[in-house]
């Protein structure tokens, strides 16, 4: 991956951010396109936050250098995308939205949705993390990679769906970046599983 892939991924993210800087607040889009964009942005923000939580857990437990590097790359790339999607939600739809991490759940924190708090319970994430917490060493790393592959696969489906409805060019570009980058990461993670299993 490493460095070449990480640099390429970050450069693509920077280009998307630069494109968005020229865009001013739009009037909310009525109808299906607007609703689809809001659902995607809020859903992908939450989805990325799950990846950040998984990557943080990985950094605490993984020992293989390539896995640690991957976790750091996930944190760098998906943190930047969360910030960008939050900016677009605010500019395009006047929605202030914050993801809820696993660390926030006990304190009852939740995202802001149009100025009102909304509780979101991610049971899938809790089950995934509970399963990983029982493992250590190479067993943990392989299970973590498998879980992240499944997680990335969900992001691919979300991104493919929004391409049917999105009307903002920046959002279309981001969905395409997610599809390309996470497909590449899935292939890389599959190769890591093979290496760790030998």
Topology given in CATH for the domain delimited by 2-197: Ferritin (1.20.1260)
Give the whole-angstrom CA distance, residue 121 versus residue 99: 11
Q: Which residues contact 99 (CB under 8 A, 6 or more apart)?
A: 45, 46, 48, 49, 82, 111
Digit-coded pLDDT (tens) for 163-185: 999 999 999 999 999 999 999 99
Q: How many CB atoms lie within 10 A of CB 22?
A: 7
Residue keyed to tokens 């995308």: 81
The predicted model gives 88-101 an average pLDDT of: 94
Residue keyed to tokens 């999607």: 85
- Provide the pLDDT for residue 107: 45
Choose among 39, 56, 70, 63: nearest CA to 165.
39
- Provide the pLDDT for residue 132: 87
**Tokens, residue 181:** 């980058």
**Ramachandran bin of 123, using left for φ above 0, alpha for ψ from -120 to 50, beta for the remaining angles:** alpha
Q: Do 175 and 162 touch, CB atoms closer than 8 A?
A: yes
Give the whole-angstrom CA distance, residue 47 versus residue 85: 12
Report the percent of the chain where pLDDT is more than 90.
Answer: 66
Digit-coded pLDDT (tens) for 20-73: 443 444 555 668 999 999 999 999 999 999 999 999 999 999 999 999 999 999
User: What is the separation of C-alpha 28 from the centre of its chain, rounded to a whole number of angstroms?
Assistant: 24
Terminal Cα distance for the chain, rounded = 20
**Tokens, residue 135:** 């493992």
pTM for the whole structure: 0.77
Average pLDDT over the chain reads 83
- For residue 7, pLDDT beyond 50: no
Give the whole-angstrom CA distance, residue 22 versus residue 15: 12
Q: Do 170 and 20 touch, CB atoms closer than 8 A?
A: yes
- Provide the pLDDT for residue 16: 44
Q: What is the DSSP letter of 164?
A: T
Digit-coded pLDDT (tens) for 105-161: 544 434 444 444 444 445 555 566 767 888 999 999 999 999 999 999 999 999 999
What does residue 118 show for φ and ψ, rounded to 5 degrees? -140, 130
């Amino acid at each position: 991956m490493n460095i070449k892939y990480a640099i390429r991924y970050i450069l693509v993210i920077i280009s998307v951010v630069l494109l968005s800087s020229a865009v001013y607040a739009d009037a909310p889009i009525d109808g299906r396109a607007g609703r689809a964009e809001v659902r995607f942005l809020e859903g992908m923000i939450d989805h990325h936050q799950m990846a950040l939580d998984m990557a943080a857990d990985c950094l605490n437990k993984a020992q293989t250098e390539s896995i640690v590097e991957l976790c750091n790359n996930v944190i760098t790339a998906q943190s930047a995308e969360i910030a960008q999607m939050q900016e677009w939600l605010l500019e395009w739809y006047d929605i202030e939205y914050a993801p809820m991490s696993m660390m926030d759940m006990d304190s009852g924190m939740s995202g802001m949705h149009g100025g009102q708090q909304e509780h979101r319970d991610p049971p899938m994430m809790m089950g995934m993390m509970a399963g990983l917490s029982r493992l250590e060493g190479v067993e943990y790393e392989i299970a973590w990679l498998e879980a992240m592959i499944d997680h990335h696969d969900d992001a691919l489906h979300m991104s493919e769906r929004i391409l049917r409805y999105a009307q903002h060019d920046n959002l279309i570009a981001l969905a395409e970046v997610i599809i390309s980058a996470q497909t590449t990461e899935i292939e890389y993670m599959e190769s890591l599983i093979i290496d760790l299993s030998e």
